[in-house]
A and B are shown apart, each in its own frame.
Chain A
């Protein structure tokens, strides 16, 4: 027997799942957080264990868009005789949620209803007569607050009882006597049935407009919305910088200096201050001592990069992202940028993968599933890979390039944003089809639940550490082996024309590009010992961000896009990266004034914009 959690998007299925199974899953306040089936197991009261499956949200069993199609078809393929469905219902929107419930009941599947967000409904002055609703629908109903865990015990009891067949039969009979014999009711009948049920079981005491209501309105009005968005983005940016820098300066750097340095220095002496093992573990010494950034040993740079340079910023980013997600801000941002995203061939919700991508491109690539069409996914994945550097890479660039002044980081990010914009415009004009319209539920603002938020941050950090440390070590090992085996000289010679000619970089920089296939943070780190000028660093930073996704992202993208589209997408990435890198090298080495660069970029952008517009109108 299995337990399937089904319900509308953003009603708290994942929260219920996490309560039932004890498994940690990402819970957020926006529809489409869960894009994959998540499995876990729970122990029933009878002592037997049962599989629990968290199904992505759907509004109806007759799928109306791609995301729902996937959910429903997988649901139909999975559902076996004897499975129990827990229909998670948002008590604050009972009427709309009941549509799916009726559809489930019509199918004759054993259903238990969890009236989730019960406290929020009461708070909003919504009273639901549970006993009465239970009588009308003829199925067990349990009010729950999955975030705090209230009602989950009772839900568990009901599930355990229902697993005994006799009881299920009892409920079934009861239901068949209550609900219309003709089970295949039409859409209209369903809604009028729901109307009748609602008038019987629910009454709402209207409340005054609160401050939160006003804030909700303000954030989707054109002018106040944009002002709020700018303030929120600025504060997010500042907070990430503040926490990240603070952690590095006051916690991680001191730890590495005072604890790690003496240990590895001693180990270096034991290893004889040279030789293969020394070079591998400690790396080469820089002016007589260990340099955590440049020594390139497994125990020095291999640990310092992921833990002391990247982790603090990743941690800071996930705090801010977690708050934005749980408050429910992201869908509002999607409404604000819908126009812009349409120009790039997507609807506003594509901003969600973009924002996630600033943390890590892997979950971002996964979340492209919330987009409707293949076309939209292709554009999103491509410009995400090119224009959105992950936090690991950002942290390294801040560390390496930030010391020369923020304007250089601004040049890199400005160029990436420009690529993101222009490639989106071009792809939207070049690919047949058009961007699907936006249609989504905007959740209410909610105060983040500290415990849930902390769990989510911890979970993401764990994923980061599990992913980053092995890959960084692998990257450092790989680079060492290339050096030791001498392959690097060969590669440098082969790529020298491309690197020195086009990008103005020393041919050894090829090593950074190779390492970038594994991880972007290591790749940026590789630049450090090369003694590059700031201009070269800027060019390298742009190329490294844009040319190709890291291995982990590549695997996800390959699965999501398929091999053919992935090849096309990679081709675009390479052209974009080397084109932009070459141009940037040309501009910077000729010391063109900043204003003329900006003017020519604006002109270029305008030209692309007009041409793509014309192309699109001609086709329509």
Chain B
């Protein structure tokens, strides 16, 4: 099966389940996300995004976490459910 390319979390549509591939940038960001349970391999659902580059809210392990736009654009994910993914 062909592996879908990783896209930044900000370009995922709200409501879509995705899997985290990696976090670009410094170690600091990755470890902050990690402490919240968002790490490579974690399945998350994007719940919402605010307009004008506002924060993205995701659901990870049943908890909702709001992530600033800059951070969210460095989280690379792959869509999980291909049938939603035209």
Contact = CB atoms under 8 A, between A and B. Distances in A.
B is a partner of A: yes
A10 B49 CA distance: 23
B32 A444 contact: no
B33 interface: yes
A171 interface: no
The secondary-structure label for the interface of chain B is: mixed
B21 interface: no
Given A335-B55, A438-B68, A442-B66, A220 B35 contact: no
A211 B52 CA distance: 28
B52 A339 contact: yes
Interface residues of A, number: 37
Interface string A71-102: 00000000000000000000011011001000
Interface stretch (A58-66, A146-154, A424-432): A58-66
Contact of B35 (A99, A126, A225, A339): A99
- Chain B interface residue number, banded: 20 to 34
Nearest to A59: B35
Contacts, number: 106
Contacts of B67: 437-439
Most buried by A among B28, B51, B66, B70: B66
Contacts of A95: 37, 61-62
A187 interface: yes
B66 A93 contact: no
Contacts of B36: 59, 96, 439, 441
A441 B64 contact: yes
A137 interface: no
A439 B65 contact: yes
B71 A437 contact: yes
A353 to B, nearest CB: 17
B48 interface: yes
A346 B71 CA distance: 15
Contacts of B65: 439-442
A128 interface: no
Nearest to A126: B62
B68 A347 contact: yes
Nearest to A98: B37
Nearest to A64: B32
A289 interface: no
B8 interface: no
A336 interface: yes
Given A216-B64, A338-B68, A438-B68, A65 B32 contact: yes
A335 B34 contact: no
A204 B61 CA distance: 11
B57 A335 contact: yes
Contacts of B33: 439
Nearest to B74: A437
Given A64-B31, A439-B32, A93 B62 contact: yes
Contact of A220 (B28, B31, B48, B52): B48
Given A93-B62, A95-B61, A439 B50 contact: no
A191 interface: yes
Interface in B41-86: 47-55, 57, 60-71
A215 to B, nearest CB: 13
B64 A442 contact: yes
B48 to A, nearest CB: 5
A338 B55 contact: yes
Contact of B37 (A96, A216, A339, A443): A96
A92 B64 CA distance: 12
A391 interface: no
Contacts of A60: 31, 34-35
B71 to A, nearest CB: 5
B15 to A, nearest CB: 9
B19 interface: no
Contacts of A62: 31, 35
Contacts of A348: 55, 66
A187 B68 CA distance: 24
Given A59-B35, A439-B33, A335 B50 contact: yes
B54 A335 contact: yes
Nearest to A338: B55
A378 B53 CA distance: 25
Contact of A331 (B48, B50, B66): B66
Contacts of A437: 67-71
B63 A96 contact: yes
B64 A64 contact: no
Contacts of A444: 64
Interface in A484-522: none
Interface string B17-42: 00000000000100111111101000
Contacts of A442: 57, 63-66
B55 A438 contact: yes
Most buried by B among A222, A347, A438: A438
Contacts of A65: 32
A185 interface: no
Given A99-B37, A222-B54, A348-B55, A335 B66 contact: yes
Interface of A: 59-60, 62, 64-65, 92-93, 95-96, 99, 124, 126, 187, 191, 204, 216-217, 220-222, 225, 331, 334-336, 338-339, 347-348, 437-444
19 contacts: A64-B28, A64-B32, A93-B62, A93-B63, A96-B63, A126-B62, A191-B34, A222-B51, A335-B55, A335-B57, A339-B53, A347-B68, A437-B69, A439-B66, A439-B71, A440-B66, A441-B65, A442-B63, A442-B64
Given A220-B48, A347-B68, 12 more contacts: A92-B63, A95-B37, A95-B62, A99-B37, A124-B62, A220-B57, A222-B54, A338-B54, A438-B66, A438-B67, A439-B71, A442-B65
Nearest first, the 5 closest Cβ-Cβ pairs linking A and B are: A437-B68, A59-B35, A96-B37, A64-B32, A60-B35
